[in-house]
Amino acid sequence: MKAVLFDYNGTLIDDDDINEEAWLATIAELSQGKIDGRALYSEFTGMRNFPFVEVIFQKLDLPYDEEKIMYWARRKETQYYHVISRQKKRDHLKPGAEELLDCLRERKMPVNLCTASLDVNVDFYFDYLKLDRWFDRQQVVYDDGVSYDKKDMYLEGARRLGVQTKDCLIFDDSPASIRKAVEAGCENLVVIKKESNPDLPQIRQRISDFTEFDYRLLEL
């Protein structure tokens, strides 16, 4: 492997419950209880914030307003996700993640984050969990409105490291995102175990957390 790319939410940090709670609160506030938040979240789990809020606007027959949609997309993070993370003391990466990242740093293997989160959330992660120990904030690929989906993000994340996705080991947890990584040319994936994960030949290992990771995969 020439480099390692990481998804963040649900992969490096165990926050699926926090993301769901934050979205349910946002949907409830925006729709004033007119939308079944749980059903909507189940249908669009993993979607970027802006298009998700667009869906809510459409279901409420609200006129398209880019400024208002972005307001709610960011509010989901700042008003709910950040607060809930602190309340639940979700202030650590998944078991074994720090050890893996330390190992990669010692090997001088390039790493990057490719996340569908907004800039405000990336800044929160870097401050809250001190991610600058391993990642260059300026290299991180996030939802900046330029990358269309995780395929684009993984391609860009590899490009910023000066490598191709076929030479990267990618860690992810979302079924849709895993497929996008393959579409981007990734030939080696490690996925967080979920019943909904696809069965693809590019998946080299399924792990519950990073203590189970087979370090020999770094030698491929």
Residues of the chain with CATH 3.40.50.1000: 3-13+92-219
Q: Does position 147 have pLDDT exceeding 80, yes or no?
A: no
Average pLDDT for 72-77: 96
Q: How far apart are CA 96 and CA 78, in angstroms?
A: 28
Please tell me the predicted confidence (pLDDT) of residue 195. 86
Task: List C-alpha distances in Å: 62 to 31, 40, 68.
Answer: 10, 17, 10
Q: Does position 157 have pLDDT exceeding 90, yes or no?
A: yes
Q: Does position 172 have pLDDT exceeding 90, yes or no?
A: yes
Other CB atoms within a 10 A radius of the CB of residue 97 amount to 21
Amino acid occupying residue 209? D
- Secondary-structure percent of the chain, ordered helix, strand, coil, rounded to 5: 50, 10, 35
Tokens of 156: 């860009």
Q: How far apart are CA 197 and CA 195, in angstroms?
A: 6
Identify the three-state secondary structure at position 211: helix
Tokens of 35: 């939308």
Quick one: CA dihedral 58, 60, 63, 67, positive or negative? Answer: negative
Q: What is the pTM of this model?
A: 0.92
pLDDT band per the 50, 70, 90 thresholds, residue 148? confident
Find out whether 120 and 74 touch, Cβ atoms under 8 Å: yes
Q: Count the helices and strands in the chain (H runs, E runs).
A: 9, 5
Please tell me the predicted confidence (pLDDT) of residue 97. 98
Query: Which among 6, 26, 180, 176 is positioned nearest to 101, based on CA atoms?
Result: 6
Task: For domain 16-87, give the fold.
Answer: DNA polymerase; domain 1 (1.10.150)
Query: Which among 8, 6, 11, 4 is positioned nearest to 193, based on CA atoms?
Result: 11
Start-end of H helices in the chain? 16-31, 37-44, 49-59, 66-75, 82-87, 97-106, 119-129, 150-160, 175-183
Q: Does position 145 have pLDDT exceeding 90, yes or no?
A: no
pLDDT band per the 50, 70, 90 thresholds, residue 196? confident
Average pLDDT for 36-44: 93
Please tell me the predicted confidence (pLDDT) of residue 48. 87
Please give the angle made by the CA atoms of 144, 148 and 150, to the nearest 5 degrees.
90
Q: Does position 32 have pLDDT exceeding 90, yes or no?
A: yes
Tokens of 76: 């989901």
* Least confident piece of the model among 16-30, 82-96, 142-156, 180-194: 142-156
Residues of the chain with CATH 1.10.150: 16-87
pLDDT band per the 50, 70, 90 thresholds, residue 15? very high
Please tell me the predicted confidence (pLDDT) of residue 24. 97
The CATH class given to the 3-13+92-219 domain equals: alpha beta
Q: How far apart are CA 68 and CA 151, in angstroms?
A: 27
Q: Does position 114 have pLDDT exceeding 90, yes or no?
A: yes
Please tell me the predicted confidence (pLDDT) of residue 107. 97
